[in-house]
Amino acid sequence: MDARARIAQEIAAAGGWIPFSRYMQLALHEPGVGYYAGGAQKFGRGGDFVTAPELGSLFGRTLARELAAFDRVLELGAGSGALAEVLTRALDREYLVLETSAELRERQAKRLGSRIRHLERLPAGFRGAIIANEVVDAIPVEAVHWTAGGIGQRGVDAGLRWADRPAEGELLQEAERIPLPRPYVSEIGLEARAWMRTLSQSLEAGAIFVIDYGFPRREYYHPQRAEGTLMCHYRHQAHADPFARPGEEDITAHVDFSALAGAARAAGAEVLGYATQAQFLVNCGITEVLAETNAENALRYAPIAAQAQKLLSPAEMGELFKVLAVGRGLTAPLPGFSRGERSHSL
């Protein structure tokens, strides 16, 4: 059975409709058939998209300077293992990985062997740094339709088409709190908030770094973003139709960083910093990492300068990607947030 058949089966069993969040869960993460659970290459030039660690070692070597203050690292959703590869080289620390996809767990183990240790579940009372790069954008979201007549929960019918039902419960409550022009469609990441709450609760001392594309709430639900933030990635093409190739392509939503910060605070953690990726990497000392490569050797310097351009440029990942750190029990401030514009507040 493939993802399409699995989804059709579930829609039929549910009487002809499932919420979009359930569709996204099946299309991305369902064991055996979901995009992340299956064997597609996904990452890098031959895959569907390129993440910061897939560009080369510059991102990881820079991040290592921030993580050096912690005794152990737990990476969530390690993908191809590219970031773990760089960080385990740069830092002599215990390196744990929690990965939901069995196929990717296997790939990571093959690439990294005993340099990492896979966990089956979140440890209670974790002390150290937790990192999640481009993980939250893949956590299923609720799709919501604000209309003059009321608020609808967007779902999927048997023909794999959008179909609304009246929103209820927590989703309705959350949707009502957001002042928006109507009609308007967007996403609410209820599951991501629960994920952040659980993660924050499991942290006894240390910090959680969430790195992803997204906005604070006032920009996320901007009157001009009336089509929402869903985006699919297939062979380096981005498009907005989540029903085009279930199981064969990535489906993502931008991250509402204010909601994640709120969830962490509700779990008793504090917000340690929030910055654009460019500002964070500059604060961590990306220019010093660059300087480790001799600029007179163009052959070696050009590729690393190209990585810097991609990571920092406002037209690429520099502005759209943000870094949020939350945590507890730290005695010193995190260097990654030492300088920065206050306008990037949550």
Ligand X SMILES: C[S@@+](CC[C@H](N)C(=O)[O-])C[C@H]1O[C@@H](n2cnc3c(N)ncnc32)[C@H](O)[C@@H]1O
134 forms part of the interface with ligand X (CB under 6 A):
yes
Verify binding: residue 54, ligand X, rule CB under 6 A: yes
Number of other residues whose CB lies within 10 A of the CB of residue 119 = 14
Using alpha carbons, select from 170, 207, 199 the residue that is nearest to residue 73: 207
Identity of the residue, 84 or 185, whose beta carbon is nearer to ligand X in the bound complex: 84
Q: CB of 146: closest distance to ligand X in angstroms?
A: 27
**The only residue of 74, 112, 129, 138 in contact with ligand X, by rule CB under 6 A:** 138
Question: In this chain, which stretch among 7-15, 132-140, 224-232, 287-295 interacts with ligand X, using CB under 6 A?
Answer: 132-140
91 touching ligand X, by CB under 6 A: no
The answer to whether the bond into 123 is cis (omega within 30° of 0) is no
**Does 317 engage in binding with ligand X (CB under 6 A)?**
no
Q: Does residue 340 belong to the site contacting ligand X (CB under 6 A)?
A: no
DSSP per residue over 182-203, as a string? SSEEEEE-HHHHHHHHHHHHHE
Q: Does 21 bind ligand X (CB under 6 A)?
A: no
Residue 5, H or E segment: helix 3-13
Applying the rule CB under 6 A, the residues between 68 and 87 that interact with ligand X are 76-79, 82-83
For 97-153, the DSSP string reads EE-S-HHHHHHHHHHHGGG-EEESSPPTTEEEEEEEES-GGGS--EEEEEETTEEEE
The C-alpha atoms of residue 87 and residue 108 are separated, in whole angstroms, by 14
Residues contacting residue 128 through CB under 8 Å, at least 6 positions apart: 70, 71, 72, 73, 74, 93, 94, 206
Contact map string, positions 95 to 124, toward ligand X, x by CB under 6 A? ---xxxx--x--------------------
The label of the residue with tokens 């080369």 reads 56
Q: Which stretch binds ligand X (CB under 6 A): 92-100, 175-183, 309-317, 326-334?
A: 92-100
- 229 contributes a contact to ligand X by CB under 6 A: no
- By beta-carbon proximity to ligand X, the closer residue of 154 and 233 is 233
Q: Which stretch binds ligand X (CB under 6 A): 19-27, 51-59, 156-164, 218-226?
A: 51-59
Residue 221 carries which DSSP code? T
CA angle centred on 271, ends 96 and 252, rounded to 5°: 65
Closer to ligand X by Cβ: residue 30 or 174: 30
Residues that bind ligand X (CB under 6 A): 36, 43, 51, 53-54, 76-79, 82-83, 98-101, 104, 133-135, 138-139
